[in-house]
Amino acid sequence: MVSWAEPNGWRSDEARGRGQVTRNPLRCEIEWNQPARASVEFHRRLPGYEPTVLLDAPGLARVLGVGKVLVKAETSRFGMPSFKILGASWAVYRALTARLGIGGDSLVDLDDLRAQLAPLKPLTLVAATDGNHGHAVARMANLLGLGCRILVPNGVGASRIGAIRSEGAEVVEIRGTYDDAVRQAAQLADARNIVVSDTSWQGYEAIPADVIDGYSTILVEVDEVLEGSGIGRPDIVVAPVGVGALMSSVVSNLRSHGQSVTIVGVEPEEANCLQASTCAGRIVDVPGPHPSIMVGLNCGTPSPLAWERVAKGVDWFVSVGDDMAMEAMRGLADVGLAVGETGAAALAGFMAISDDESWRDAMGDLSDSTILLLVTEGVTDPDAYRSIVGRSPAEVHASAAVSKVGWDPGMSRPVLEEQTNKEP
């Protein structure tokens, strides 16, 4: 096994310099309003809530030549293998309480909400997905006793589809891309079908705005741990980008602090819709097919709602090929983190951007800098994982060389549970 302690030992020369790096020409300072954070309390009150871990990975820092690498590991949220339930749960809750005419600041717990929904039934939640968002919407429908129809594009693997079906949802496989699935889902909206989309379109903004607000929980948890740990706020934050909803939340949470931080967005090279749009100065489509193994990021059109903040708040974009994602998976495995293709994108992006001359000239010496990587998903396909990494997720966990931030280092131990899309 190549050790992370050997500088650059794990990086293959073939993948070097492969990423396409752009400095965002639209970046500007605006009045960054505090993001809505009511979702944080909502999540804390949900059964099974636990903050995800923030990990310190010194082996990664050594290899990347930076002071510190922190990993926010969204590999298990409410027993699901990604962060998406944070947005879906809050958006579903808000849509249903709005239909019931329940207003005000006080939160209704899920059992009470379920009981109050009876007069609205039959009611179905509808979503388009390339996996995680649909799984999360299906989980909410299951918890609330509602029907659920999930539209998936070509290329979504059997394990992801199985996870959605395991929640009792109907899965409709459509011919076309994720963006085609979004268009078809939008047409199903009526009095008995609530479309819960993480991307917006004209006249459909309230639910995608709540999805974005739901992701604040991730950033609030990071802040809370860092405040108590003596580690300062990160200098660079790297996050993966699909339609841009997660990144919109990252931008508004970080920028509204007024903190000086460099934000980097990572996309697959065939689905780099935010990178292409910022370079064009307006929203553009990147037509499919979008075949990347970073399935959660295979989106050809930015969310117009997310675009407003992402276009102004992200500093750099980098688009990477699947070879980089696989290399990042192996790198994360070497510090004991079993992370799938999409989840590894932030590390892949940082590896790619740090090879780029314009980035290096602009950023200078990073040997004292703290980098925060948002790892947004665990392992969703254990067979594919083993063929890429050469070990099973369980074998990888057994070799963990990370510590949970805020812990006594003497207590370091493997902290990630094996995550698959198996029925929890």
Ligand X SMILES: Cc1ncc(COP(=O)(O)O)c(C=O)c1O
Judge if the upstream peptide bond of residue 122 is cis by omega within 30 degrees of 0.
yes
Token digits of residue 397 = 């966990």
On the CB side of 24, CA atoms within 13 Å amount to 27
What is the closest distance, in whole angstroms, from the C-beta atom of residue 82 to ligand X in the complex?
A: 4
Rounded Cα–Cα distance for residues 213 and 40 (Å):
9
List 56, 130, 334, 381, catalytic entry: 130
Query: Looking at 302-408, which runs of residues are DSSP E strands?
Result: 316-320, 370-375, 403-404
Among 208, 214, 244, 336, binds ligand X (CB under 6 A): 244
Supply 359's token pair: 């980035």
Q: In the range 13-72, which residues lie near ligand X by CB under 6 A?
A: none
Look at the alpha carbons of 112, 47, 222, 320 in this order and tell me if their dihedral is positive or negative: negative
Q: How far is the CB of 88 from ligand X (least distance, A)?
A: 10
Stretch that binds ligand X, among 1-9, 179-187, 291-299, 388-396 (CB under 6 A): 291-299
CB of 249 to ligand X, least distance (A): 8
Catalytic status, residue 84: yes
Among 167, 198, 315, 327, binds ligand X (CB under 6 A): 198
Decide: is 271 part of the binding site for ligand X (CB under 6 A). no
Exactly one of 22, 39, 76, 82 binds ligand X (CB under 6 A); that residue is 82
DSSP 190: B
Nearer to ligand X, 123 or 297 (CB): 297
Residues 6+ apart with CB under 8 A from 90: 39, 42, 43, 210, 211, 213, 214
Q: Computed over its alpha carbons, how large is the radius of gyration of the chain?
A: 20
Concerning whether 404 is annotated as a catalytic residue, the answer is no
Binder among 135, 377, 393, 405 for ligand X (CB under 6 A)? 377
Give the contacts of 151 (CB within 8 A, at least 6 positions apart). 126, 127, 128, 129, 134, 172, 174, 181, 184, 185
Give whole-number Cα distances, 150 to 81, 129, 193, in Å.
18, 7, 12
State both tokens at 11.
């990086």
Sole binder of ligand X in the list 234, 242, 288, 321 (CB under 6 A)? 242
Contact (CB, 8 A) for 243 and 211 = no
> By C-beta, is 218 or 402 nearer to ligand X?
218
- Do residues 251 and 24 make contact, with C-beta atoms less than 8 angstroms apart? no
**With binding defined as CB under 6 A, does residue 273 bind ligand X?**
no
Count, residues near ligand X per rule CB under 6 A: 20
Does residue 251 bind ligand X (CB under 6 A)?
A: no
Region from 235-243, 250-258, 358-366, 413-421 binding ligand X, contact rule CB under 6 A: 235-243
Q: How far is the CB of 133 from ligand X (least distance, A)?
A: 5
Structure tokens at 418: 């094996």
Question: Which residue lies nearer to ligand X by CB, 220 or 245?
Answer: 245
Q: Is 280 exposed, middle or buried (0-12, 13-18, 19+ CB in 10 A)?
A: exposed
Token pair recorded at residue 328: 């990042």
**Contact range with ligand X by CB under 6 A, out of 18-26, 41-49, 236-244, 383-391:** 236-244
Within 113-172, which residues bind ligand X (CB under 6 A)?
132-133
- Listed ranges 45-53, 57-65, 222-230, 296-304: which one lies at the site for ligand X (CB under 6 A): 296-304
Q: How far is the CB of 193 from ligand X (least distance, A)?
A: 21
What is the maximum span of the chain, computed from C-alpha positions, in angstroms? 63
Segment interacting with ligand X, rule: CB under 6 A, options 134-142, 154-162, 292-300, 389-397: 292-300
Number of helical (H) and strand (E) elements in the chain, helices listed first: 17, 12
Q: Which of 342, 369, 370, 421 binds ligand X (CB under 6 A)?
A: 342
Interface with ligand X includes 246 (CB under 6 A)? Answer: yes
Out of 84, 213, 235, 315, the active site residue is 84
Selection from 79, 87, 172, 160 nearest residue 124 by Cα: 172
Of 149-157, 294-302, 311-319, 321-329, which segment contacts ligand X by CB under 6 A?
A: 294-302
Active-site residues, by number, are 84, 130
By the criterion CB under 6 A, which residues form the site for ligand X? Answer: 82, 84, 132-133, 198, 240-247, 296-297, 299, 342-343, 376-377
